[in-house]
């Protein structure tokens, strides 16, 4: 399991507002224009390095594929097998936390989860998260789970009175 919020790599569209409360060197990848922007501490600038984003994703799908960031040349590529399941869940104050849906993830071993609308805490050790216990993921953060066990044991709860939405993409 890894939390990629720390790496400060954001995916979005050219019409999305880029965040400004991020670390210097953060990347924003516009999936529709295939441009990569770097944050210099005060503003975003277009990365002058060559970038490759493949167009092989199925049209009209809810899947993202695997996104690889090559830090050596600041390149971006969408590669590998595609996610084959997707779900959106509301993370509220349910005691014990909200789990991912077995009927959706099945036997998939990878999950790519985005957090929107509020901060959450989550656990994958079988324990229940609370508003003060568990791994904190801020609004806009990304969670990557890389084992079926982590997916099965994932439980999340909101940290405030505002519920969050998580978008989950699953692959083998």
- Spell out the per-residue pLDDT of the chain, length 172, in tens: 444 444 467 777 888 888 888 777 778 877 777 788 887 778 888 876 544 444 344 444 444 444 443 444 334 333 444 557 889 999 999 999 999 999 889 888 889 899 999 999 999 999 999 999 999 999 988 898 889 999 999 999 999 999 999 999 888 8
Domain count along the chain: 2
Q: Of the candidates 79, 99, 124, which is a domain's last residue?
A: 79
Half-sphere exposure of 98 (CA within 13 A, CB side): 21
Residue 112 maps to which CATH number?
2.60.120.10
Same domain for 21 and 52, yes or no, is yes
Same domain for 89 and 167, yes or no, is yes
Residue span of the structural domain in which 128 resides: 85-171
Same domain for 54 and 38, yes or no, is yes
CB 91 within 8 A of CB 98: yes
Query: Is the pTM here over 0.75, yes or no?
Result: no
Q: What is the largest CA-CA distance in the chain?
A: 48
């Amino acid at each position: 399991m890894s939390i990629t919020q720390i790496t400060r790599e954001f995916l979005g569209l050219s019409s999305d507002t880029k965040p400004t409360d991020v670390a210097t060197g953060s990347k924003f990848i516009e999936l529709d224009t295939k441009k990569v922007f770097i944050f210099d501490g005060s503003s975003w600038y277009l990365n002058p390095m060559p970038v490759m984003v493949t167009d092989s994703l199925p049209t009209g799908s809810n899947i993202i594929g695997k996104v690889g960031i090559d830090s050596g040349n600041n390149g971006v590529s969408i590669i590998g097998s595609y996610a084959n399941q997707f779900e959106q869940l509301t993370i509220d104050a349910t005691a014990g936390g909200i789990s991912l849906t077995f009927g959706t993830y099945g036997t998939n071993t990878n999950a790519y989860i985005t957090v929107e609308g509020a901060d959450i805490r989550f656990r994958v050790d079988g324990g229940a998260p609370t508003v003060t216990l568990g791994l904190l993921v801020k609004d806009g953060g990304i969670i990557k789970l890389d084992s079926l066990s982590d997916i099965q044991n994932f439980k999340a709860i909101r940290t405030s009175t505002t519920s969050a939405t998580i978008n989950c993409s699953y692959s083998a």
